[in-house]
Amino acid sequence: MGLIGKNTQVSYAVCVNNEGYPIDLEPLKVYAVLPGEANERDLNLVRVIDETGEDYLYPSSYFIPVELPQTSEQTLMELMRSRSEA
């Protein structure tokens, strides 16, 4: 099964810094953010699906959360699910 299941709550964020991760993150690109564990949030980390297609922890200061219109969010979810199942 892929990273994003039907019941996975995904949010989105724009990358504003890729210091130390030039291959994995692109500045000004919108990334899917998966729900994190409490200890990850306490450490100011977010779980992002990066350019590798896998989810990794990054400093939350590298991202700005964004809200998308529901139709756009649904389209992105469908695309991400199809990519993770391929």
- Placement of tokens 């990850």 in the chain: 40
Residue 1 confidence (pLDDT): 34
Q: In angstroms, rounded to a whole number, what is the distance separating the alpha carbons of residues 64 and 52?
A: 20
Residue 7 confidence (pLDDT): 59
Residue 5 confidence (pLDDT): 54
Q: With helix as H, strand as E and coil as C, how does the chain read?
A: CCCCCCCCCCEEEEECCCCCCCCCCCCCCEEEEECCCHHHHHCCEEEEECCCCCEEEEEHHHEEEECCCHHHHHHHHHHHHHHHHC
Domain boundaries, the chain: 1-68
Specify the CATH number of the domain 1-68. 2.30.30.40
Q: Which amino acid is at 78?
A: E
| pTM higher than 0.85 | no
* Residue-level pLDDT, tens digit, the chain, 86 residues: 345 555 568 899 999 999 999 999 999 999 999 988 888 888 999 999 999 999 999 999 999 999 988 888 888 878 877 776 65
